[in-house]
Chain A
Amino acid sequence: MDLNATILGQMISFIIFIWFCMKYIWPKLIITINDRRDLIQKEFANISQSKKDIQKMYNQANEIIYTAKHKSKEIIKSANLEKIVILERAKYYAEKEKKKILQQAEVTIQMKKIQLKKKLTKEISTLASMMANKIIINTIDTKYKKHNFENMINTF
């Protein structure tokens, strides 16, 4: 082991390094680390608070959804009841209308029947009178023709 002045040189540089580190490096870095730790803890606290808020809002949303579902069920139920009532009413009115229309139709049919009967009677009477007329005419014609023929014969 050769011990020499290297020891002194190294001791001096070591002391200078420690002094420099103590003065310019360690305090700044340790303050930064502590600040960053505080910041991170704060962020973590914020995150946990946010998580709590989210949970609260989630619960509220669930509650709102539950209430809305309940309400919607009630609405659907009342709507169904309303639907039945409306349908029944509609049926009733429809039936009423149907009857009315049927009655009107029957009246119309009766009237039409009567009209048609009248018309038919009229037409039949017309036809009958026409036929009678023709028969009469034919009868007269035959008599006349016979008379005329007899007259002619008589003339000759």
Chain B
Amino acid sequence: MMLLSKISDPIQYIHHHLRHLQINLKNLKFLNNERIDTFWILNFDSILFSFILGTFFLLFFYYTTKFISLKNPSKIQIFVELIIEFVNNNIKDIYNTHNKLIAALSLTIFIWVLLMNTMDLVPIDIIPYLLYVIFSIPYFRIVPSADINITIAIALVVFGLIIFYNIKNKGFIGFAKELTIHPFNYYVFYIFNLILETIALLSKPMSLALRLFGNMYAGEMIFILIAGFLPWWLQWTLSVPWAIFHILIIFLQAFIFMTLTIVYLSMTSKKK
């Protein structure tokens, strides 16, 4: 009843839908409407759904590898091969050399982000309502990519790889030089160059994370607004067109994230 009384007011409905199911890692207890200013909080819903979707992706692909046939491929195998070809062609076009880690990274990013984004198409109230009815869970958000922590985490791993490959390909000194002697190769500008290059370097993961988060958060917010302000029998007039349009965004954002990751990593092997 608490939930139903909350959602009767649109403002409260929106606030309710934007709240994560959180665990305080210090005492391993779920937070219930209180706010704690500490880093050691886990957005349980985001982590759970991203993990389920990631596991689904890996198991699906792993299952496909177990039943591979050279002469009589199944429809699933052909579907998986199409995805692999698509990712591999993108890597070949941008990166030129074959790198198993970057290939696996790109595939994981593309499919995982795509699956996380696709959760936005699930009617917004169904899963939270069922979880409330069955387990009395008060808050639950099902779109992991609409959580900034999730997108930042993926972007940080990419950033870590950018740093790793920069040092691997150019050497520590080469990388440091690249940060200090560009764009003005004069000792007076070294600090200025360093600031500029550091901003350019940091902007890569930030743009990756914020672009995906922004798009998915906005998409989710529009669905919430439609559900919050329109009567249930009228919601489809806006939610269906938005969902159709959103399919494009879902795919595009996953593709952009993957492509930019490959581009950023390919830049690590090129000398300025």
> Do these two chains interact?
yes
Chain B residues lying within 8 Å of A39, measured Cβ to Cβ, are 70-71
A5-B81 Cα distance, complex, nearest whole Å: 36
> Cβ of B149 and Cβ of A26 under 8 Å apart?
no
Chain B residues lying within 8 Å of A152, measured Cβ to Cβ, are none
A153 beta carbon closer than 8 Å to chain B: no
> Cβ of B65 and Cβ of A7 under 8 Å apart?
no
Interface of chain A: mostly helix, strand, loop or mixed: helix
Q: Which of B93-123 contact A (CB under 8 A)?
A: 100-101, 103-105, 107-108, 112
> Cβ of A10 and Cβ of B50 under 8 Å apart?
yes
Q: Which of A1-38 contact B (CB under 8 A)?
A: 1-11, 13-15, 17-22, 24-30, 32-33, 35-36
Q: Distance in Å from the Cβ of A75 to the closest Cβ of chain B?
A: 51
Chain B residues lying within 8 Å of A24, measured Cβ to Cβ, are 62, 65
Q: Distance in Å from the Cβ of A119 to the closest Cβ of chain B?
A: 106
B47 beta carbon closer than 8 Å to chain A: yes
Chain B residues lying within 8 Å of A15, measured Cβ to Cβ, are 157
> Cβ of B41 and Cβ of A4 under 8 Å apart?
yes
B54 beta carbon closer than 8 Å to chain A: yes
Chain A residues lying within 8 Å of B61, measured Cβ to Cβ, are 21, 25, 29
Partner of A5, one of B42, B70, B73, B147: B42
A120-B150 Cα distance, complex, nearest whole Å: 146
Chain B residues lying within 8 Å of A9, measured Cβ to Cβ, are 42, 47, 153
Q: Distance in Å from the Cβ of B50 to the closest Cβ of chain A?
A: 6
Residues in A lying within 8 Å of B, measured CB to CB = 1-11, 13-15, 17-22, 24-30, 32-33, 35-36, 39
Mind listing 22 A-B residue pairs with CB under 8 Å?
A: A2-B148, A3-B148, A4-B39, A4-B40, A4-B41, A4-B43, A4-B149, A5-B25, A6-B153, A7-B156, A9-B42, A9-B153, A10-B50, A10-B150, A13-B54, A15-B157, A25-B104, A30-B84, A32-B77, A32-B81, A35-B70, A39-B70
